[in-house]
Amino acid sequence: MKNFLLLNIIFAAIKTLLSQNGMEQDFLKCNFKNYNFVSNNKSLYETYNVDESVIYCPKHVGCSLLLKYDNSNYHPVLKYCGNKNSVCKRCDTAESHEIHSDKQSHWYYTCCCFENYCNSIEKTILPKPIFSYMNVNPTKTNTQLEITYIHITISLMTLMLLFAFVVSVLFYLIKYKKICLIKKKSSTNDDEHALLVNFDKNLTLQGNVANGRFGSVWTADYKGESVAVKLILPQHCKHFLNEISVYNLPCMSNSRYILRFIDAGSLELSNDDISPKVDFNGNFGPCIPQPSLNNFKSKLSAQENKKYELNARMSIIRTVSASSLSITPHPTYNNVKSKLTLYKVIVFEYHPHGSLQNYLKYNQVNVAKLKILMKSLSAAVAFLHSTINLSASYKPPVAHRDLNSRNILINKEEECILCDFNLSCIGKYNDNISDGAVFSSDKSEYQINEVGTKRYMAPELFERALDLSDCITALKQVDIYALGMVLWEMSRMTVDIYDSGQPPKYRLPFEEETNKAGSFENIKIEIVRDNLRPPFPVKVSSKLMNLAYLKQTITECWERDSEARITAACVHSRMTKIFYNNTLERISADSGNESTDY
């Protein structure tokens, strides 16, 4: 019996030794320890053979070490076998490894090795961690992150509010600067405040006498005086403001050859009441009686008042009350109801002879009258172009921009009166205007080049080659070109220069070459491509020797080169030399030419 027991013990020992030798051949001895990382998990102990602090792991799996990164240090969490289903970094290399976070924001690092007892922190080369998130503090909580987001949001909102405040301040300063500029312009005329009165007498419209691009002209009775009233369509309000700004300049009333301004305002009336009919019969009278304006309300809207208060050009606009106007009813148009339109109204001095164009059509002009017409017109343009700098007031130069025989009136003394400044351009309010900045209603290059009446437009306007570096000077040269055309119209209709004593039928510039309609392109070809000008009469009186000097003056006005044109002051000075003793018989000392060619 004893022998049997001994044999069993021997066989068991041999079996144990054989099993241990086989395990040593197929398994690694790895350090094993669970630092409370996995609780109540028996699989850690059941998967592989565990002997206290040693675990037998298959060689193809190897040993593994799980470390926790906390407060810039690594702490062992679990020593165990590797995972055959995942790629594991080696513990004996110094390469940087990415560490990952769990839901509690804990950061972990795992490495593997393939030697006995290699999964200890002492044998592991610890790398510099690269976090999955850009967070230098791996223990930061969700509450701390929310606080960070709140701080960022508050900072952004503060920056936005600061930006909005800066923009508001800049906008206010720009607006304030504009208002100051407007006040400065409005304060240049000492007589302005004397004109700030409402209509205190009846204004009775009588008849329509002319029509233009921007409205119509009517005769009327105002304060017992016969006046001319311009009704401007509401869509052309900017031209109304521009004309008012010109009349509001200092010293504008000093020239007797500038149309006298009386009053301005707004008038709401029926469209049916405005039925333009014109019958000049050689002048502006007698006028055809027109329907009454019995369906109207004279007022300025609150929106307009607010706008006008910010515009210096409206410093002399009147607020027309309903009781200030009286229109005599016409029986044909009584009780007619139609849509009301708010017209802009300017009241001027009335000149019964009408425009220069109609005056030349229906009246004979001799040399004496020609002298008066030419001297008065050249004086008006010279005054408009001049700069007046007095101690108490300053008048900048003004370019008319639409000078033609329709925009010139004839007064009782048969002198020229310059009018219609709705397209005019005012120079800067200082002595230096070389930078081309102007106060005008039209500021774009296209608008500056395109305005005017086509038959009187200078070549540079057709070519859109206006010198905008010195804008006001360039526009004055455009006026001189148009002045030459008007002087040509006057001289052509003068009876004394013809041997027969009979002038030809009145014609507009280039009317014979391009017919009366004369398209823009046809006139452009005549002026720009062919460099033609209206022809002078051929058969003229041999007694009027100064006709050659007059022709020279007109020719120098419409030169192709704008820089070669003479000034309005020069034209006015030459008129005195040309019309010596109210005739054209004396040869001017400046002409040096006794030729009778005209």
Residues annotated catalytic, as ranges: 402
173, 271, 426, 482 from 488: Cα distances, Å: 52, 39, 27, 10
- Report whether 91 contacts 123 (CB < 8 A): yes
331: preceding bond cis by omega (within 30 degrees): no
Nearest Cα residue to 99 out of 90, 91, 108, 112: 108
Distance CA 113, CA 65 (A): 9
Residue 228, strand partner residues: 219, 348
- Report whether 458 contacts 477 (CB < 8 A): yes
Distance CA 488, CA 511 (A): 13
What number of helices (H) and strands (E) belong to the chain?
15, 22
Nearest Cα residue to 207 out of 189, 190, 221, 225: 221
Residue 371 annotated as lining a ligand binding site? no
Nearest Cα residue to 83 out of 64, 102, 56, 98: 64
Distance CA 570, CA 378 (A): 9
Q: How many CA atoms lie within 13 A of 293 on its CB side?
A: 27
Question: For tokens 């700069």, what's the residue?
Answer: 387
Distance of CA 255 to the CA centre of its chain: 35
- DSSP string for 153-190: HHHHHHHHHHHHHHHHHHHHHHHHHHHHHHHHHHTT-T
Nearest Cα residue to 336 out of 295, 396, 387, 378: 295
| DSSP label of 505 | P
8, 229, 235, 283 from 298: Cα distances, Å: 135, 15, 18, 31
94, 100, 102, 293, 432 from 127: Cα distances, Å: 6, 14, 20, 99, 76
73, 139, 211 from 107: Cα distances, Å: 11, 8, 90
Which residues are within 8 A (CB) of 276 and not within 5 positions of it... i.e. 6 or more apart?
Answer: 208, 211, 216
Distance CA 172, CA 594 (A): 68
Distance CA 290, CA 207 (A): 5
- Report whether 504 contacts 565 (CB < 8 A): no
Distance CA 590, CA 123 (A): 118
Q: Extract the annotated binding site for ATP.
A: 230
Q: Which residues are annotated as a binding site?
A: 230
